[in-house]
């Protein structure tokens, strides 16, 4: 699951339904065939913390989301976009987020 192109929220909803940060991590884990324990070690977190993320009980901070994206060799913008969308959803704000990489 490597997102190289701009991926709008509409594309995400079309392809995956309402994607959450936890569902995204779980999808990465399932695609890699890892157990929660192995995947958590790969991300440098405890299995309990990963489980909390996957179940939507917790959200990482921005720095952690960027770290996970780098560990999984995926788009930082994509991870932050999903994370911010979760923050908005938690606050019951009907807004959409689009994050794109700043050009130099």
Residue 49 belongs to domain with CATH number: 1.10.260.40
Residues 5, 11: Cα–Cα separation, whole Å: 11
pLDDT beyond 80 at 3: no
Residue-level pLDDT at 40: 98
Q: Is residue 57 part of a domain?
A: yes
Q: Is residue 100 part of a domain?
A: no
Residue 52 structural domain: 9-90
pLDDT digits (tens, 9 = 90+) for 21-69: 999 999 999 999 999 999 999 999 999 999 999 999 999 999 999 999 9
Count of domains observed in the chain: 1
Contact in structure between 52 and 59 (CB atoms under 8 Å): no
Q: Is residue 99 part of a domain?
A: no
Q: Token pair of 99, please?
A: 């994050």
Q: Is residue 85 part of a domain?
A: yes
The helix/strand count (H/E) of the chain reads as 6, 0
Q: Is residue 69 part of a domain?
A: yes
């Amino acid at each position: 699951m490597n997102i190289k192109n701009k991926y709008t929220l509409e594309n995400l909803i079309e392809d995956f339904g309402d994607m959450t940060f936890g569902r995204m991590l779980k999808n990465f884990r399932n695609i890699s065939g890892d157990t929660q324990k192995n995947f958590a070690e790969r991300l440098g977190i405890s299995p309990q913390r990963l489980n909390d993320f996957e179940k939507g009980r917790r959200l990482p901070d921005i720095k952690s989301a960027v770290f996970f994206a780098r560990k999984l060799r995926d788009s930082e913008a994509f991870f932050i976009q999903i994370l911010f969308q979760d923050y908005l959803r938690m606050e019951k704000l009907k807004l959409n987020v689009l994050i794109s990489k700043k050009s130099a």
